[in-house]
Structure 1
């Protein structure tokens, strides 16, 4: 065909350019459609949040502000695939406990589920689709032992002494203890009815943490004696009938009881600082140490699932477990220790 000229090369390229463009240039993305996560969050705040406990809403708002909106806020609901949510959960595990990641995901799935119920097109990804990484940050659980609880109760003045006794002898949560009313103390059947909790921030009544938390717990004799004496000499009358009420007739603040009553007592006793929840951990730990079955401890703490009790307190080696292992070891050692008969090699040589 002869030598190709500069002009003919350009002409050839111009002829093929439309075909090259179709191959090399990606088509413009389609405009996004459907509701965004931010719009779904707004719906959740209007229609769902007012029906939840204040503490639950505060936790959800914290998850939204710190994790969900910064990472996922620009996405449309249709873009929430298993891969997207899995990548999000994997990114959260660094520097956080597994429980924290689960709580953040619970908030996210609550919002996505609400959007689907309201008719929005959202991917049907669920918690069962997500694999949480093993590990994460493990936080040491701070708790008192029975001796420390006794010293704290003895050192505190009323009504705090009785408060701490209730916490240590029953394992109630601090909000549940502050929510107790005179009608909840059944001295005939020797039980305490757990029917409400006091929100740590608003000091308003709310339901206990879970359905299983609203239950009865035994009133041991030592606590019965303390409560009767407190009601006789230290009880402050109030319109709502709270067992523990401040001078205005309102529930005490968890934060103030901790900061101004518990911490000074711990400092004077030279006990490491901890919060009111350490009494609950103390009750569980002591019960397990004394050999109480896991199911008994679960009922006393009112955990919905025994796995929750096991996850929190499975590291405690109780007396029953220790005795069982000692017996096992002794049986093995008894059969392993035999009288060795001297062999020819072991007999002393005659000079």
Structure 2
């Protein structure tokens, strides 16, 4: 196997009416440098005498050029991502990457086999493997870091862009829409802010972070609309919504009005602009301000289970012992589709998602209702 030629001249050729030096750069790729000299024998001889000096200059430039480490590119990536809605999540990714690969390693020294090993052994804190859809977020972060190195010419190609996560058999999602009976019991047994959250959630299909980010002036009773403009979550330092399509107008169903008005009264009583403000009237920080923390570590370092309002409520409804409050969104989607009074595109628009996403996530909950059709319909009669 021959060694790759780097930082040396390949040939002197005639191009564009002048003499051009073709040379191998630091990655072994052929580059060109126009000299401005006309193609004569004397000029060719002159360039040949200058070749040693030219190659020396190439090597010195490479030696004096500062090469950034993975840690430096990771810091730059986070700096450029400060306005991303999931910057906190990306920061967590970066910490794990630097701990695994080492912050002082150069991107060019990272092999694809190492990347594959990292993803194959990626686990949650409790040791359970990550599902493929979650690994995609991790891959995007690493791809972004490598892209910066590629654009600087530190690597020949972005190996993460060229690599796809292998398919894996993930366990089925435990997301379940609430049944109508469960919804009745949840509303009957809940009270105050949690009661209003459930009432608004099942009638709007809004994401938890969107509900937490609702402000009084977002509610337009006159036109029957909720303006979704922001999202609040502990995973982000800003209030950007999940996607651009998440910024939308959601119709206010009549059944949602009492819950909205009740929560607005609570916010005004606390002198807050946010519907789901904290008990002291301060700006909400996350959905856990409504649910309570599922788990926490006490002063002795022991893991304790919280008795927050949602965690107490779900234990009182059969079948919901491990349910998540954000299932109100899934409940809305399924009930809208089951009603057959709305086009799927309308439901997708209300929820701020693509039509494809609606089908992929929620069509499986519609049972076999398509079998209950009028079979007397003639498909080919005008």
TM-score after normalising by structure 1? 0.70
Aligned equivalent of 1:261, options 283, 286, 309: 309
Corresponding position: 1:299 with 2:332:
no
Match for residue 108 of structure 2? 78
Unaligned runs of 5+ in 2: 1-61, 293-307
The structure richer in strand per residue is 2
Aligned equivalent of 2:73, options 34, 40, 43: 40
Q: How big is each residue's C-alpha offset from its partner over 1:41-95, in whole Å with a ceiling of 9 and x where there is no partner? A: 13223x3243334xx2221132233356415756532346777656655665993
Using the TM superposition, give the Cα deviation of residue 267 of structure 1 relative to its aligned residue in structure 2, in angstroms: 1.5
The structure richer in helix per residue is 1
Corresponding position: 1:243 with 2:275:
yes
How has the CA–CA distance of structure 1 residues 218 and 169 changed in structure 2, closer, same or farther, with 3 Å as cutoff? same
Corresponding position: 1:277 with 2:357:
no
Q: Secondary structure in 1 aligned to 2:226?
A: strand
- Using the alignment, how far apart are the partners of 2:348 and 2:110 within structure 1? 37
- Using the alignment, how far apart are the partners of 2:221 and 2:344 within structure 1? 27
Moved more, 70-79 or 292-301: 70-79
Is this contact kept in 1: 2:200–2:256, CA < 8 A? Answer: yes
TM-score after normalising by structure 2? 0.65
Corresponding position: 1:308 with 2:341:
no
Using the TM superposition, give the Cα deviation of residue 285 of structure 1 relative to its aligned residue in structure 2, in angstroms: 2.4
Computing the radius of gyration from Cα coordinates, the structure with the larger value is: 1
Using the TM superposition, give the Cα deviation of residue 128 of structure 1 relative to its aligned residue in structure 2, in angstroms: 5.7
Corresponding position: 1:106 with 2:140:
yes
Is this contact kept in 2: 1:289–1:317, CA < 8 A? Answer: yes
Match for residue 239 of structure 2? 206
Corresponding position: 1:220 with 2:269:
no
Match for residue 302 of structure 2? none
Alignment of 1:1-351 (within 5 A): 34-45=67-78, 47-53=79-85, 56-66=86-96, 69-71=99-101, 75-79=105-109, 89=119, 95-117=129-151, 119-125=152-158, 129-143=162-176, 144-200=178-234, 206-231=239-264, 234-252=266-284, 253-259=286-292, 260-270=308-318, 271-291=320-340, 292-303=342-353, 305-318=354-367, 320-324=369-373, 327=375
Q: How big is each residue's C-alpha offset from its partner over 1:87-134, in whole Å with a ceiling of 9 and x where there is no partner? A: 6556659932111121111111121223445x3423433766323322
- Using the alignment, how far apart are the partners of 2:206 and 2:262 within structure 1? 20
How has the CA–CA distance of structure 1 residues 288 and 272 changed in structure 2, closer, same or farther, with 3 Å as cutoff? farther
| Aligned-pair Cα RMSD in Å | 3.6
Q: Secondary structure in 2 aligned to 1:315?
A: helix
Is this contact kept in 1: 2:143–2:161, CA < 8 A? Answer: no
Q: How many residues align?
A: 294
Is this contact kept in 2: 1:170–1:219, CA < 8 A? Answer: yes
Q: Secondary structure in 1 aligned to 2:269?
A: coil
How has the CA–CA distance of structure 1 residues 123 and 103 changed in structure 2, closer, same or farther, with 3 Å as cutoff? farther
- Using the alignment, how far apart are the partners of 1:137 and 1:48 within structure 2? 33
Is this contact kept in 1: 2:272–2:283, CA < 8 A? Answer: no
Unaligned runs of 5+ in 1: 1-30, 332-351
Is this contact kept in 1: 2:147–2:158, CA < 8 A? Answer: no
How has the CA–CA distance of structure 1 residues 205 and 261 changed in structure 2, closer, same or farther, with 3 Å as cutoff? farther
